[in-house]
Chains A and B, each alone.
Chain A
Amino acid sequence: MSERSDGPADANLPDDVDAPDTEDLEPEADDSAVEEAAKRVPRGVPLKVEGLRKEFGGITAVDGATFSVEEASLTGLIGPNGAGKSTTFNCITGVHEPTAGTVQFRGEDITGERPHAIANRGLVRTFQIARELDEMTVLENLMLAPGHQRGESITRSVLPGLRGDVVRQESELREDAWETLEFFEIDHLAGEYAGNLSGGQRKLLELARALMTDPEMMLLDEAFAGVNPTLEEKLLDRIHDLREQEDLTFLLVEHDMDLIMENCEHVIVMHQGRVLDEGTPEEIKANEDVVEAYLGGEV
């Protein structure tokens, strides 16, 4: 993807204290071995949430949630409606300021930082209700996302001598954007206004756009709701690829239990704003409280 040219965000990424060995991590080639590898090799913990609490007037949406997410993992965050999952995402990404508690990303305290700063650290999220930029085309939506674009400076986009650079970067971005659109199978919609997309297409656009920011960790809030099963499969494959090849970390909110149980190596269960349990899918299925609270005895 596009390179970040001059962002200060790059400079102050700390040497990852918690993850000394990520460079040496050679993903085993075979799919079946990947999950094994994930457990064996010591990993960093990019995201740590401690005692997170968020009150809205009288309602306590998140009530002291504590959990962490391992590097290059696919972690599921599940829980009944109103459990506080989206609010947790909002607090992590700066959309809401937490009432109490701390959020750490790559060893740095980012609690209460502004959303753009957090996104520029490489922690990017999607929204449960897709927030498309309706009067912009699908391609424009994607080209917006990459960070630190040269043409975001007024002088550079205006002065003839400097404009050339901007145009060059724009055509690179355009190429990336087309590629991403093709992958997400919405390239036929490139010129369509985002406001005219269907619900599922919006979800895809939202995910594609978030990926265009070249993130290190993604928080996906029901990103697959309304996406057809074949494409969902393909997107999950892509997510697995990104984890293995680029060490991207994913935290996934989903109501589709099969999806979570089949794809995540770690699952966090929230209930009434707290973390009720966490563990491997097998451990979660075995926990009767969880089954009671959320799975409704189905599994």
Chain B
Amino acid sequence: MSAVDDARGVLERVFAPDAVKVFAMFAGIWLLFYWFGNQLGYTDPFILALVRRVTFLSAVYALAVLALNIQWGYAGLFNIGVAGFMAVGAYGTAMLSGSPGGSPPGLGLPLPLGVLGGVLAATVIGLVAALPALRLKADYLAIVTVAISEIIRITFNSPAFANVTGGASGFDNLPTNPVRTLLLTEPGSIISDPTPLGQPIFSLATEYGIQRLTVVNTVYTVGTLVVLLGVYLLLERIGRSPFGRVLKAIREDEVATRSLGKDTQNFKVRAFGLGCGLMGLAGILWYAMGPRASIVPVNFRPELTFYIFIALIIGGSGSNTGSILGGALFASLLFEAPPRIAAIIGDRFDVAADPANLVEALAPVVEGDLMPLAGFLLNNIDTLRFIGMGVLLILLVQRRPEGLLGARKETASAVSLADDTRPGTAPERPTAAADGGGDGDE
């Protein structure tokens, strides 16, 4: 039983069906957006940028949803302050690693330290806020988290601390994008000479007419996907361990779990801290650097928390794979797709009419003129997608409350619990035993 075999066994078991689902979904999203780009007459480099954009948003959403899944999906902890913990992560990293000369000034620490600090800050604030509430009933945790998240946002927003946080205009002095540090000799300038590592990448890109900024963003996006994979594997391991089993038990029946000798308090605190730390990480990758870098208090409004909850419900709470699917589908289909569709329709059919309100849009329908209504819908696509989200959520909760992936039924154990694991039965059931050896525990 070598470590390599062990690792391979784990990978095979975890990935066999799930990797296919995730990969198929990403492939579908990419194809769809390639088609969108095509329909809009984009050149290939632009299409790449579009696909890159949707992939990045999908990845950061998926990351935040995974973090919420360990709290809500596994342990049933109702945290509605996700946005706040993401803010703490992003602000924390920016304050630690922003340049000391900027405004507001940062501490200028190396980025890895800054990221670590941001994650720790999110964890600690999560624990401090939640420790008293975790002792009480679930409802109190919900109230406390939503309050702490707003306190965090309002504090960052407040003019009183503007010289430290940047106030309402945000923390402008962001840390340098690590991809730029990696690929450019002068990270601050996109036209500076490439580093030895950047050289081949940039020259390859130039051949295809891809701009440097797109290259930087694409590499950053790939890096985010790698982090996502790492976090996913980490959480899968945790989910399939005695720790994950206790969390699941707490979600099912805390009194019964306590009566079996589990200090449920302690487990909840650890799960909550872990989740908050990962939310911080999602906030950092999303807002503190990279293609969407922008640390402004309005980014962290409670809506963000609700989006992440919707994504988790879509994917199936309790399932890590479902979390990734939910996050990515939410970000791509509900956020990025509608404006493209509107643009395509606007291009195709000359929808010039621009009625000021629904009445003006609906009245001509009686006379058989659909154009004003179409124009109205297209112009209001941003608002309409929230109606769409609401409808989707209602449908999901009624028709498929367990989400896409039948959720909650992943077995929590570090070894296989299949029937063929019964001692002494393997010889009698050769077919079942044949595929049971993958758990690497014998």
Interface set of A (CB-CB < 8 Å, partner B): 93-95, 114-117, 119-120, 124-125, 127, 131-137, 139-140, 143-145, 147, 149-154, 157-158, 160, 163-164, 166-168, 170-171, 174-175, 178-179, 187, 190-191, 193, 209-210, 213
Q: A133-B253, A171-B442 are in contact. Are A154 and B243 (CB under 8 A)?
A: yes
Contacts of A93 in B (CB 8 A): 259
Q: How far is the CA of A19 from the CA of B83 in the complex (A)?
A: 58
Q: How far is the CA of A160 from the CA of B234 in the complex (A)?
A: 11
Give the tally of cross-chain contacts (CB within 8 A): 146
Determine which residue in A131, A134, A136 has the highest number of CB atoms from chain B within 10 A of its CB, and name it.
A136
Cβ B274 vs Cβ A213 within 8 A = no
Binds A, one of B175-183, B288-296, B409-417: B409-417
Closest to A188 in B: B419
Cβ A152 vs Cβ B418 within 8 A = no
Q: How far is the CA of A174 from the CA of B425 in the complex (A)?
A: 14
With an 8 A cutoff between CB atoms, is B245 at the interface? yes
With an 8 A cutoff between CB atoms, is B441 at the interface? yes
Cβ B264 vs Cβ A116 within 8 A = yes
Cβ A135 vs Cβ B252 within 8 A = yes
Contacts of B419 in A (CB 8 A): 190-191
Tell me the minimal C-beta distance from B276 to chain A in angstroms: 14
* Binary contact readout B1-40 vs A (1 if CB under 8 angstroms, 0 otherwise): 0010011000000000000000000000000000000000
Q: A158-B237, A178-B422 are in contact. Are A152 and B256 (CB under 8 A)?
A: no
Partner of A144, one of B7, B257, B421: B257
Tell me the minimal C-beta distance from B418 to chain A in angstroms: 7
Tell me the minimal C-beta distance from B271 to chain A in angstroms: 9
Tell me the minimal C-beta distance from B152 to chain A in angstroms: 25
Q: A131-B253, A178-B423 are in contact. Are A137 and B261 (CB under 8 A)?
A: no
Cβ A213 vs Cβ B248 within 8 A = no
With an 8 A cutoff between CB atoms, is B440 at the interface? yes
From DSSP, what is the main secondary structure of chain A's interface residues? helix
Q: How far is the CA of A163 from the CA of B421 in the complex (A)?
A: 20
Q: A119-B259, A119-B260, A213-B260 are in contact. Are A174 and B274 (CB under 8 A)?
A: no
Residue contacts A-B, CB under 8 angstroms, 30 given = A95-B259, A115-B258, A116-B259, A116-B263, A119-B258, A120-B261, A124-B259, A124-B261, A131-B255, A133-B249, A133-B253, A133-B256, A135-B248, A135-B252, A137-B417, A149-B242, A151-B414, A152-B246, A152-B262, A157-B243, A157-B414, A158-B238, A166-B241, A166-B242, A168-B441, A170-B242, A178-B421, A190-B417, A209-B260, A213-B260
Q: A133-B253, A178-B423 are in contact. Are A191 and B418 (CB under 8 A)?
A: yes
Partner of B412, one of A115, A119, A140, A145: A140
Cβ A135 vs Cβ B260 within 8 A = no
Partner of B270, one of A145, A154, A164, A213: A154
Partner of B261, one of A116, A150, A163: A116
Q: How far is the CA of A157 from the CA of B267 in the complex (A)?
A: 14
Which parts of B39-70 form the interface with A (CB within 8 Å)? none
Contacts of A174 in B (CB 8 A): 413, 415, 417, 421
Cβ B242 vs Cβ A190 within 8 A = no
Which 7 A-B pairs have CB atoms at the shortest separation, nearest pair first? Answer: A157-B241, A151-B242, A119-B261, A131-B256, A133-B252, A115-B258, A149-B242
Partner of B422, one of A125, A137, A168, A190: A190
Closest to B259 in A: A115
Cβ A150 vs Cβ B422 within 8 A = no
Contacts of B415 in A (CB 8 A): 167, 170-171, 174
Cβ A147 vs Cβ B261 within 8 A = yes
Cβ A154 vs Cβ B249 within 8 A = no
* Binary contact readout B223-254 vs A (1 if CB under 8 angstroms, 0 otherwise): 00000000000100110011111101101110
Closest to A115 in B: B258
Cβ B256 vs Cβ A127 within 8 A = yes
With an 8 A cutoff between CB atoms, is B212 at the interface? no
With an 8 A cutoff between CB atoms, is B400 at the interface? no
With an 8 A cutoff between CB atoms, is B301 at the interface? no
Partner of B260, one of A136, A158, A167, A210: A210
With an 8 A cutoff between CB atoms, is B340 at the interface? no
Contacts of B414 in A (CB 8 A): 151, 157, 163, 166-167, 170
Tell me the minimal C-beta distance from A89 to chain B in angstroms: 10
Contacts of B423 in A (CB 8 A): 175, 178-179
Tell me the minimal C-beta distance from B268 to chain A in angstroms: 12
Determine which residue in B246, B258, B419 has the highest number of CB atoms from chain A within 10 A of its CB, and name it.
B258
Q: A124-B261, A137-B417, A140-B245 are in contact. Are A157 and B252 (CB under 8 A)?
A: no
Contacts of A153 in B (CB 8 A): 243
Cβ B261 vs Cβ A213 within 8 A = yes
Given A114-B263, A210-B260, 17 additional A-B pairs, CB 8 A:
A115-B255, A115-B258, A124-B260, A131-B255, A136-B412, A139-B413, A140-B413, A143-B417, A144-B249, A152-B242, A154-B243, A157-B241, A166-B414, A167-B440, A174-B421, A191-B418, A209-B260
Closest to B241 in A: A157
Cβ A140 vs Cβ B260 within 8 A = no
Contacts of B257 in A (CB 8 A): 133, 144
Partner of A157, one of B238, B258, B441: B238
Contacts of A210 in B (CB 8 A): 260
Cβ B408 vs Cβ A135 within 8 A = yes
Q: How far is the CA of A220 from the CA of B414 in the complex (A)?
A: 31
Q: A151-B241, A168-B441 are in contact. Are A144 and B259 (CB under 8 A)?
A: no
Cβ B242 vs Cβ A154 within 8 A = no
Contacts of A164 in B (CB 8 A): 6
Closest to A194 in B: B252
Cβ B252 vs Cβ A154 within 8 A = no
Q: How far is the CA of A178 from the CA of B413 in the complex (A)?
A: 14
Partner of A145, one of B6, B260, B413, B442: B260
Q: How far is the CA of A178 from the CA of B259 in the complex (A)?
A: 22
Determine which residue in B3, B243, B408, B418 has the highest number of CB atoms from chain A within 10 A of its CB, and name it.
B243
